[in-house]
C-alpha cells in the first residue's frame, strides 16, 4: 500500500472511531442519568463532553468546566464511567476526567504511523494531559512528605539528578501517584521530546506476558529502553513473578547505564518487600529511598486550606476544616474526598456548610477513622510531656507546675474524647464539671497568647492521634 493511501485509510479509521465514541457516549449518558438520578447527572455529568482519545493506550478524556468538577466527577463517578465505557465495546479501557482546555471537540492523539521505525510509546505521557492537581507545585508539603517531594523535584529538574532510581514508599492515598504524575509533567515541560513511560507494575507484567505469547518481546524491550523517564507504580505487585522480575531487572539496569531516570513506588520500604528478587531490591535501595508517612494534623489542615482556596463561592468555616482534619486521618485521598463531598452537597442543596452539616454528611467516614483515645492515655501523655508523675493528674495539689499540665489534659480530654464534662471531672480526682470548663477556657486563652502553650498542645495532639 502506498503512503498516501495509508494516510487516507488512517483518516477514515479515525473518523469511524470518533463516530463510535459519540454514539457510545449518548447511550452511556442515558444509563448514567437513570443510575445516579436526574439531579446528580444534570449537575455533574451532563456538562461533560468527549475530549482526546488515544487508541494506543485506549484512554479517553472527558472534559468538564473546572478543576473542582474534574476532581469531584473523577472521585465520585470514576469507576462507574470506566465500567460503562469498557462495556460499550468501543476500545476504551481507561477514562480520565479533566478541565477542558481552550480547544474543543474530540480528537485522536497522534500515533506513530506504521512506516516509522522508532518504537511506539504506548503509554507515553505528555505533560498537557495531566490535571493541575497532579503538578508538583500543587503538592502540599509537610514534615511527613518533604523528603519525597524534594526528591521528586530533583528527579524532574533539568539538571541530571545525582541519584537514580528514586524509590518512594508509603500507604494508600498518601500522594505517591500525585508525585509520579507531577514528575512526568515537570520533566516533559523542559524536555518535550524525551520519551516518558508511566505504568503500574501490574500493567508491566501483563504487557510482558502478552509480548512473550505474541513473540514480540524485542519490541517490548525496545519500547521500555527508549524511555528517558520511566515511572513504575506499586512495584509490590510483581512479587513472586520470576520472569517478570528478571525482565524488570534488565530494564532498570539498561536504563541506569544509559543515564535515564527511574522512579518506582511501593506500599513499603525495599527491605520489607517480600518475594522480590534480591538484585532488584539492591538496585532500588541503591538510589534514593524516600518515605511518605501518614499526614499529621498540621499537614491535613494545610491540605484542606488549599482545597478551600479552590472551592469558589462556597464558604467552609474554620471549625469544619478543623473537624475534617481531626476526624479523617487514614489518608489524604479520603480527606480530600470528604471535603469534596461537603462542597458538592452544599452546592446541590443550597445549604450552608456548618459543623452539624459536616458531621451528618461524613458520619460514616468519621466512624471508619475513629480511634478511641482514652482520658487515661491523655493523662499519661501530658504527664510525660510536662515531666510530672501521672498520679498528679488526680491529686489535689494546686502548684502551678502540676495544675497547668492537669488543665491541658482536661482540655484535650474535652476536645478528643466523647466524655461529658462531669465524667472528665470525676476521672481527674472527682472534680466538679465547672473545674473542667475553667481548664478548657484557660488553655484556649493561653493558646491565643502563648506560642509555647500552643506548640505544647499541638505536639500532644499529634502524639495522641498518631
Q: How many CB atoms lie within 10 A of CB 216?
A: 14
What's the CA gap between 220 and 212, in Å, rounded?
Answer: 9
Question: Tell me, what CATH number does 396's domain have?
Answer: 1.10.1750.10
Residue 108 lies in a domain: no
What is the average per-residue pLDDT within 294-312?
87
With a cut of 70, say whether residue 4 has pLDDT above it. no
All 3 cell numbers of residue 106?
A: 474530540
Confidence label for 370 from pLDDT (cuts 50, 70 and 90): low
Domain ends where: 292, 312, 335?
292
Residue 107 lies in a domain: no
Domain ends where: 308, 341, 369?
369
Q: Residues marked as binding for ATP?
A: 173, 175-177
With a cut of 70, say whether residue 269 has pLDDT above it. yes
The whole-number pLDDT of residue 149 equals 94
The whole-number pLDDT of residue 131 equals 53
The whole-number pLDDT of residue 113 equals 33
Residue 43 lies in a domain: yes
What is the average per-residue pLDDT within 236-264?
89
Sign of the Cα torsion 62, 65, 66, 71 reads negative
Query: In this structure, what DSSP letter does residue 370 have?
Result: -
Whether residue 134 sits in one domain with residue 204: yes
Instruction: Give pLDDT tens digits for 69-89.
Output: 777 788 778 888 888 888 888
Domain containing 33 equals 3-99
Question: Could you tell me which residue, 99 or 165, shows the higher pLDDT?
Answer: 165
Give yes or no for a contact between 5 and 115, defined as CB atoms under 8 angstroms apart. Answer: no
Residue 112 lies in a domain: no
Question: Tell me, what CATH number does 35's domain have?
Answer: 3.30.300.180
Cell 469531584, residue located: 72
Whether residue 449 sits in one domain with residue 346: no
% of the chain at pLDDT higher than 90: 23
pTM of the model: 0.56
The whole-number pLDDT of residue 405 equals 94
The whole-number pLDDT of residue 16 equals 54
Question: Could you tell me which residue, 412 or 31, shows the higher pLDDT?
Answer: 412
Query: Mean pLDDT for the chain?
Result: 82
Instruction: Give pLDDT tens digits for 384-411.
Output: 999 999 899 988 888 888 999 999 999 9
Residue 110 lies in a domain: no
Residue 122 lies in a domain: no
With a cut of 80, say whether residue 123 has pLDDT above it. no
Indicate the number of domains in the chain.
4
Q: Residues marked as binding?
A: 173, 175-177
Domain ends where: 342, 369, 396?
369
**Positions of E strands within 273-379:** 288-292
Query: In this structure, what DSSP letter does residue 108 have?
Result: B
Sequence-ordered list of residues with C-beta below 8 angstroms from that of 231, at least 6 positions apart, any chain: 180, 183, 184, 196, 197, 198, 199, 262, 263, 264
C-alpha angle with apex 265: 264 to 271, nearest 5 degrees?
95
What's the CA gap between 48 and 41, in Å, rounded?
Answer: 10
The full DSSP string for 339-350 is HHHHHHHHHHH-
Amino acid at each position: 500500500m502506498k503512503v498516501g493511501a495509508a494516510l487516507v485509510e488512517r483518516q477514515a479509521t479515525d473518523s469511524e472511531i470518533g463516530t463510535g465514541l459519540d454514539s457510545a457516549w449518548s447511550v452511556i449518558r442515558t444509563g448514567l442519568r437513570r443510575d445516579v438520578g436526574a439531579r446528580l447527572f444534570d449537575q455533574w455529568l451532563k456538562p461533560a463532553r468527549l475530549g482526546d482519545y488515544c487508541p494506543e493506550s485506549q484512554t479517553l478524556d472527558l472534559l468538564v468546566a473546572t478543576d473542582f468538577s474534574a476532581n469531584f466527577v473523577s472521585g465520585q463517578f470514576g469507576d462507574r464511567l470506566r465500567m460503562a465505557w469498557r462495556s460499550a465495546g468501543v476500545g476504551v479501557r481507561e477514562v480520565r476526567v479533566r478541565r477542558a482546555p481552550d480547544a474543543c471537540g474530540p480528537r485522536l492523539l497522534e500515533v506513530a504511523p506504521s512506516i516509522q521505525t522508532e518504537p511506539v510509546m504506548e503509554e507515553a505521557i505528555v505533560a498537557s494531559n495531566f490535571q493541575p492537581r497532579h503538578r508538583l507545585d500543587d503538592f502540599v508539603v509537610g514534615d511527613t512528605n518533604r523528603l519525597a517531594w524534594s526528591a521528586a523535584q530533583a528527579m524532574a529538574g533539568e539538571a541530571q539528578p545525582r541519584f537514580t532510581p528514586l524509590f518512594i514508599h508509603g500507604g494508600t492515598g498518601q500522594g505517591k501517584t500525585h508525585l509520579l504524575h507531577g514528575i512526568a509533567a515537570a520533566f516533559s515541560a523542559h524536555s518535550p521530546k524525551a520519551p516518558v513511560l508511566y505504568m503500574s507494575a501490574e500493567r508491566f507484567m501483563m504487557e510482558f506476558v502478552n509480548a512473550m505469547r505474541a513473540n514480540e518481546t524485542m519490541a517490548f524491550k525496545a519500547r521500555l529502553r527508549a524511555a528517558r523517564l520511566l515511572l513504575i507504580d506499586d512495584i509490590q505487585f510483581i512479587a513472586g513473578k520470576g520472569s517478570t522480575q528478571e525482565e524488570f531487572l534488565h530494564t532498570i539496569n539498561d536504563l541506569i547505564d544509559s543515564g535515564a531516570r527511574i522512579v518506582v513506588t511501593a506500599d513499603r520500604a525495599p527491605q520489607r518487600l517480600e518475594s522480590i528478587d534480591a538484585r532488584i531490591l539492591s538496585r532500588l535501595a541503591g538510589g534514593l529511598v524516600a518515605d511518605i508517612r501518614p499526614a499529621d494534623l498540621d499537614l491535613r489542615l494545610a491540605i484542606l486550606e488549599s482545597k478551600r482556596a479552590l472551592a469558589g463561592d462556597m464558604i467552609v468555616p474554620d471549625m469544619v476544616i478543623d473537624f475534617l482534619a481531626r476526624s479523617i486521618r487514614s489518608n489524604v485521598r479520603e480527606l480530600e474526598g470528604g471535603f469534596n463531598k461537603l462542597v458538592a452537597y452544599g452546592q446541590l442543596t443550597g445549604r450552608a456548610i456548618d459543623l452539624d452539616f459536616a458531621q451528618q454528611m461524613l458520619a460514616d467516614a468519621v466512624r471508619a477513622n475513629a480511634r478511641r483515645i482514652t482520658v487515661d492515655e491523655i493523662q499519661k501523655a501530658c504527664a510525660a510531656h510536662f515531666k510530672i508523675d501521672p498520679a498528679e493528674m488526680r491529686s489535689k495539689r494546686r502548684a502551678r507546675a502540676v495544675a497547668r499540665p492537669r488543665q491541658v489534659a482536661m482540655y484535650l480530654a474535652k476536645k478528643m474524647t466523647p466524655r461529658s464534662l462531669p465524667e472528665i471531672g470525676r476521672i481527674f480526682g472527682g472534680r466538679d464539671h465547672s473545674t473542667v470548663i475553667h481548664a478548657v477556657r484557660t488553655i484556649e486563652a493561653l493558646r491565643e497568647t502563648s506560642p509555647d502553650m500552643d506548640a505544647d498542645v499541638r505536639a500532644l495532639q499529634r502524639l495522641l492521634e498518631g
